[in-house]
Amino acid sequence: MLEKSFGTTFFLKSPSKKKVTNRTIYLRVTVDGISKEVSTMLRWELDRWNQKTERASGSKEDARSLNYFLDSIVLSITKLRTELHNSGQFATAQKIIDHIKGKDVSRVMVLEEFQNHNDEMLQLVDNKQFAIGTYKRYVTARSHVEEFIKHRYQREDIEFRELDYTFVTEYDFFLKTVRKCSNNTTLKYIANFKKIVLRAIAKEIILKDPFKLFKAKKTKLDKKPLSTYELNVLENKIFSTKRLTAIRDIFVFQCYTGLAYMDIKQLSYKDIKIEIDGSMWIMSKRQKTNSSTNIPLLKNAIEIMKKYKDDLICKEYNLVLPVKSNQKMNEYLKEIAILCEIDGDLNTHRARRTFGSTVTLKNGVPINVVKEMMGHYSVTQTEQYALTTQEMINSEMLKLKQKLDKNEVAIPDTGRLSQILNEEDLRILKDFELVKNMILKMK
């Protein structure tokens, strides 16, 4: 956005004592009729100043140095105006004066602003606006940026205006090599940092988005749920230790309820409701999103609940199941996967995918109903869990085959019709009969 009028003027400020010839050089900036002045903190002799050129006169070294300094100020102002125009902002006299003084917001430090964001988020955690896990991820993300700045720049922090495309690409490389993060984990940390940068742009701390040219793709992961066969094997497996048996039971309970790890860990008997018809429901709110979940309990899940009704930990804390830490759960589930000969990683989130695909959708439960039970805000979220398995493909193809087997292709008697049809019509009927024979052979 261009200003209607713009001008800069360097001049020697007249002192209170007129006889003083060594005067301070000032800069006056005028934008759309509004003027602001700032001292350059330099002094110069009146008889060696040319107000027409607004520069020191003569060819002495001190005059050339002063003029070079004044030229650099003009260049800095021009650069700032260009950046403001490119970002769709007006260059005001005050913004330019603040820039010359070094008071512009672009001097805000990256880690300082990141910490401000995290502090605000922590307060919102207390108000249930964010999950504590989300806050912790941003704490980790900030620590990674801090480590990268020390690694790359040997400094404690840098200014936002120092961020550019090179910083982003080098940070990406740092996460993958020094931190040994996978591609998808790297992109998550970069997304966390990008949020801070976009926040800085919104606050006009910086004008350019260093992520503008940064392109990256997530690695597509194999997120297969358990098949019906694998789930049956898991349910019927007899383990030699109570430890593995309990972990298996908790995992299976997740498969039949779709609860995420944190939700099942916090599940208490106050969340279990009994309807008039005697059916049992889980009625609670998701810890991650605070969205409501209403899940009718299936027989398999109820049997597991009864099994741990008298467990000491469950009785002490009024919990439904004695759930261990997520780290321990996943560690023991890897052990269980080996013993049950289940392919792929067995973790707490795979149970949620199994509920969304194998237990519900495969058995004809509409996706909008699955959405409500899983506590999603949109069907799009649920579709990520509705993974098409080989088992489901086979089931649908069997239905198609049965429909095709029932269909009868009725072909008219070409002998009787030959008397009333022309040669072209007869040729079409013969081709149709040929197709019919091909279909019969396929059956």
User: Which tens digit of pLDDT belongs to each residue from 190-221?
Assistant: 999 999 999 998 887 887 899 989 998 888 77
Q: What is the mean pLDDT of residues 326-343?
A: 92
Q: Is the pLDDT assigned to residue 425 strictly greater than 70?
A: no
| pLDDT tens digits, 283-320 | 887 766 667 788 999 999 999 999 999 999 898 889 99
| pLDDT tens digits, 159-173 | 888 899 999 999 999
Query: Tokens standing for 255?
Result: 């498969």
Q: Return the pLDDT at 435.
A: 53
What mean pLDDT, rounded, does the chain reach? 85
224 φ, ψ (degrees, to nearest 5):
-70, 135
Q: Which residue has the higher pLDDT, 439 or 318?
A: 318
Q: Degrees (nearest 5) of the Cα angle 389, 261, 295?
A: 70
Q: Is the pLDDT assigned to residue 408 strictly greater than 60?
A: no
Spatial distance between the Cα atoms of 89 and 93, rounded to a whole number of angstroms: 13
From the number of C-beta atoms within 10 Å of its C-beta (0-12, 13-18, 19+), residue 114 rates as buried
| Pairing relationship of beta strands 34-45 and 49-50 according to DSSP bridges | unpaired
Give residue 409's pLDDT band: very low, low, confident or very high (50, 70, 90).
Answer: very low
**The pTM is what?**
0.57
CA dihedral 203, 207, 213, 214 (to 10 degrees): -40
| pLDDT tens digits, 261-288 | 989 999 999 999 988 888 899 988 776 6
Q: Which residue has the higher pLDDT, 36 or 408?
A: 36
As separate numbers, helices (DSSP H) first and strands (DSSP E) second, the chain gives 18, 8
- Chain CA centroid to CA 107, Å: 27
Q: Return the pLDDT at 422.
A: 56
